[in-house]
Structure 1
Amino acid sequence: MEPSKNLSESLFKKHQHAKETSSFISYLSESQALLDANQKRSKSAWYRALRRMQWIWQGLDPIEIESVLARIASSGNKHNHPDWLDTIAGYRPGNWSYEWSQQGAIHQRKAALLKGEAASNEYFIASLCFGVASYPHLKGDNLSIQAQVLANKTYSDAMEHSPYVIKQLKIPYKNKKIMANLHLPHTEKSLPVVIVSAGIDSLQTDMWRLFRDFLSKHEIGMLTVDMPGVGANIHWSMTEDSSCLHQAVLNELPNIPWVDHYKVGLLGFRFAGNVMARLSFIEQDKIAACVALGAPIHDLLSDANKFSIMPKMYLDALASRMGKNAVDIDSFSKQVRAWSLKSQGLLAGRKTTVPILALGLEGDPVGSKMDNQSLASFSQGGKAIELRTKSISQGYDQALTSAVDWLKVALKK
């Protein structure tokens, strides 16, 4: 039996009766009634937000995605929530982690038969599948944790076979270590670097294509860091000092020989965009440019009504990052106001010297047009762009091209 199958089976063997993901975070009765009313109105068939376009952009095949979703949807096993297809408990057919892990194992086996970059690409697709198996990465979800082990293992395998240089860094912070992956086109000289983070429901292993297809072509390195409370940074809960881990990474750069710490860019998706923008005010002397993509800056965080109609999965993910197991939506909405950059006084005084590109997609409920304009107006040389595209996938490519162009101009001066 191949080693990959042994690892998968040994990791998941004990979890035939694992708790189902949507039941990890509990809600007080009034909040639960609000969630039930939201579900009645939206009639969503899935607990998880199906990020098809994001997964395709990251490198997954659209036909494969539909095939896995069809296996989940057609399973006859009992659902924990009658409305949601992805709520089968335990590691068995039809369970979200089970089906996506099976798909990851297929690519893992294919990769073992290949060499060089072909093997690397196949291992990376396996890593993406295991990453989706773990999604939305809630604390204490054993199936998610096991899938992350496999995502990290196959990502390491992808790195080993890659023509690029990838180094796993351990950055000291408060008696623990921040795990970050540094990706470089080569090590012939110190290179400009972009610190990259995705949202609160993504892993740093999702970001490979951004480096391979965008940054590496311009001789720019990529340093990926998980958000607090997720992935490699699960030990830390997210607080209103949301940029503390990224700040520690930024301050460590002078000690990393392969990067030019005078040429540092930041790129944050969703909640990480809020974190990167915050860091652009706090550490402006150390940052050349910043891009915040679809980031909640103030609007969503300060509006209790908008916050209360967020789908359960998003609220669960946010609660998990903050270390909560039980939620009262009303008090929760008051607590997240502290993350608003306006509430923190950053969008009230002097402009940051860091040129910030605030990028949004038309009609985005999370990163509003008003947020983007407000953020750009408090940045010297800042700019807000709202992308109008007929397809989200086209929007992703357009957004990333705009982001990399912005960073390239600042980092290549």
Structure 2
Amino acid sequence: MNEKNLSEKLFKPKFDYPETSTLVTQIKSGQQLTNSFLDSEGNSCWYRAINRLSWQWRGLPFIETEEVLSRISISKKRRSNPNWLDTVVGYQSGNWIYEFWAQATKWQKQADFDEQLTVAESEFEAYHSKCHQSWLMASGFMTLAGYPYFRNDDLANQAVLLAYRYYRHAMDHSPFIVKDLDFNLNDKVIKAILHTPLKKSDPIRAFPVVLLCSGLNDLQIDFYRFFIEHLAPLGIGLLTVDNPSMGNSKHFNLSQNTSIIHQAILEQIRTVPLIDYQNVILLGYRFGANIATRLAYLMPSKIKGLINIAPIIHQIFIDPQMQAKLPMIYRDMLADRIGLKNFSEQQLQAELKFFSLKEQRLLIKPCNVPVLNIFYEGDLLNNIEETKLITSTKSTKLFKIQLLTLKQDLQQRSQNLANWLKDLVFRS
């Protein structure tokens, strides 16, 4: 059975799915705060975070994402909240999941067509490259269809399943060897993906690896471009895993022990022959920095270094005024990830304070691994004071990304990150 028929059989559209924004209920909603540009563009006409910067960084074409947003915007269908463009009720045109699913399906059909082409041996590289790109686009748009990945959003969960299936097809055509790995935690399976810097013709060898700790907005399949552009050229692999309550890890609950899944992986990483377990670097992005920094304190002997990008580790978890001003999507995501379906501000505040690493008494002294911290000027969820809470007994480096020179600074950040990794892994 081909991919199209299988998709239609498993995920036949229905019209009685609940609209995503209604799945988490706040007893009292907060004010709207202009979002950090790292997370969205602060447009109150949308329930979801519109993050063109992130989508382009992942490799999704700007024109196509704009076309999808336009189809959602102009819809005349009934919305669960008339103030939000992306709340069209039912799986139909104008609905967020429907429109991004439709865009993903276009790329899935293109990928199916590409794979059926007959090519000469001399054209194999171009053939695989084209198939690889088409499947990546299908996976990327299907990932957006599932956002914000609420656990009780059945239709979105189906989109995420397809996104992972398309990603696996893309990896089959990747020039690099990519392996699915299983780890164990409390009689449950942790599903991770190891992106190796080895091409299919390379001799098998162990290599350093970056263990990714991603944010609450991201799935583990959102970082392939980062691997290709910044890690593979250095001969460094990327090991990804979903955070508790999300994607392939949605059967794990998110608690103040945010690092429980990554900790289990570090404890079992010696069982993966391809990984040089003495050269494991943690990369924490946004909320993922909470996970990565926690691990740096708890398991320093298993970690070579720590990189944090725009870390969220303390203030948002203990400041009720800051929490009250968060856009509703972020409060809903936080509540969903920790298992609150109907909640008041007081309940959310009580739960979140336990996530502060300062409240957990982990930041009262430096950690014992080298640290690279990167923060962004104008970031409303992180600032230099919070970033400076993460220090090391060995070495601490701090890089700033400025808004006025964002493009150039992002390129410089990538080069600084690569140089820091090279020094850490190959010269120490």
Which TM-score band (shorter chain)? Answer: over 0.9
Per the TM alignment, residue 171 of structure 1 is displaced from its structure 2 partner at its CA by 0.4
Q: Distance in 2 between matches of 1:6 and 1:220?
A: 38
Alpha-carbon distance, 1:38 to partner: 3.2
| Aligned residue runs from structure 1 range 65-144, under 5 A | 65-114=65-114, 115-144=127-156
How far the C-alpha of 1:5 sits from its partner, in A, is 2.9
In structure 1, C-alpha distance between the alignment counterparts of 2:410 and 2:101, rounded to whole Å: 26
Deviation at 1:158, TM superposition (A): 0.4
Equivalent residue in structure 2 for 1:221, among 230, 237, 240: 237
- What is the one-letter code of the residue matched to 1:5? K
Establish whether residue 324 from structure 1 lines up as the match of residue 318 from structure 2: no
Please tell me whether residue 383 in structure 1 is matched to residue 397 in structure 2. Answer: yes
Contact in 1 for aligned 2:197/2:236 (Cα 8 Å): yes
Deviations 1:163-185 (A, max 9, x none): 11011011011000000000002
Identity rate, percent: 33
Q: 1:10 Cα deviation (Å)?
A: 3.0
Report the CA distance between 1:379 and its aligned residue. Answer: 4.8
Rate the CA distance shift 1:178–1:396 in 2: closer, same or farther, 3 A.
farther
Residues in 1 aligned to 2:92 and 2:226: alpha-carbon distance in whole angstroms: 33
Aligned 1:229-244 pairs, distance under 5 A:
229-244=245-260
Higher helix share: 1
Q: Deviations over 1:314-346 (max 9, x none)?
A: 111111111111111223123212111111111
In 2, are the aligned partners of 1:201 and 1:230 still within 8 Å (CA)? no
- Give the aligned partner of residue 56 of structure 2: 56
Q: Distance in 1 between matches of 2:408 and 2:50?
A: 17
Relative distance call for 1:339 and 1:303 in structure 2 (3 A) is same
How far did 1:392 drift? 5.3
Of residues 145, 155, 180 in structure 2, which corresponds to 1:168? 180
Q: Does residue 1:148 correspond to 2:163, yes or no?
A: no
C-alpha distance in structure 2 between counterparts of 1:91 and 1:77, whole Å: 11
- CA change 1:210–1:237 in 2 (3 A) is same
CA distance in 2, matches of 1:10, 1:222: 34
The offset of 1:394, in angstroms, is 5.3
What is the aligned partner in structure 1 of residue 22 from structure 2?
23
Pairwise mapping of residues 234-273 of structure 1 onto structure 2 (< 5 A)?
A: 234-273=250-289
What does residue 180 of structure 1 align with? Answer: 192
Q: Secondary structure at the match of 1:409?
A: helix
Q: Is the 8 A contact 1:373 1:383 kept in 2?
A: no
CA deviation string 1:177-228 (max 9, x = no partner) = 0000000021621000000132112110111101111100000010001111
Q: Do the aligned residues in 2 keep the contact of 1:361 with 1:395 (CA within 8 Å)? A: no
> What is the one-letter code of the residue matched to 2:400?
E
Q: Counterparts of 1:185 and 1:39 in 2: how far apart (Å)?
A: 41
Structure 1 position 370 matched with structure 2 position 364: no
Structure 1: which amino acid aligns with 2:272? I
**Cα pair 2:32 2:44 within 8 Å, conserved:** no
Corresponding residue for residue 402 of structure 1: 416
Corresponding letter in the other structure for 1:69:
L
Distance 1:51 1:79 in 2: 22
Deviates more, 1:9-18 or 1:157-166: 9-18
Most deviating of 362-371 and 111-120: 111-120
| Count of residue pairs the alignment pairs up | 405
User: What secondary structure does 1:360 align onto?
Assistant: strand
Poorly superposed stretches of 4+, deviation over 6 Å? 39-43
Instruction: Return the offset for 1:396.
Output: 4.7
Report the RMSD for the aligned CA atoms in angstroms: 1.9
Report what 2:32 is aligned to: 38
Q: Which moved more, 1:206-215 or 1:4-13?
A: 4-13
* Matching residue's letter, 1:404: A
Pair 1:12–1:85, CA change in 2 (3 A)? farther
Deviations 1:32-76 (A, max 9, x none): 3xx3x4389987100001010100010001111111100110111
Residue equivalent to 2:122: none
Match of 2:2 in 1: 3
Is contact 2:43-2:50 (8 Å) kept? no
Query: Which moved further from structure 2: 399-408 or 52-61?
Result: 399-408
Q: CA deviation at 1:295?
A: 1.5
Within the candidate set 286, 291, 316, 2:307 is matched to 291
Residue 15 of structure 1 aligns to a residue whose secondary structure is coil
- 1:265-286: per-residue Cα shift (whole Å, max 9, x none)? 0111111111101101110111
CA contact (8 A) 1:296 1:368 kept: no
Distance in 1 between the 2:240 and 2:301 partners?
21
Match of 2:291 among 250, 272, 275: 275
Deviation at 1:398, TM superposition (A): 4.2
- Would the aligned equivalents of 1:60 and 1:128 in 2 still touch at CA under 8 Å? yes
Distance 1:392 1:227 in 2: 28
C-alpha distance in 2, partners of 1:405/1:72? 43
Q: How far apart, in 2, do the equivalents of 1:338 and 1:311 lie? A: 21
The whole-number CA distance in structure 2 between the counterparts of 1:256 and 1:281 is 24
CA apart distance, 1:364:
0.6
Unaligned runs of 5+ in 2: 36-41, 115-126
Contact 1:277 1:356 in 2 (8 A): no
In structure 1, stretches of 5+ residues that fail to align are none
3-state SS of paired residue (1:375): coil
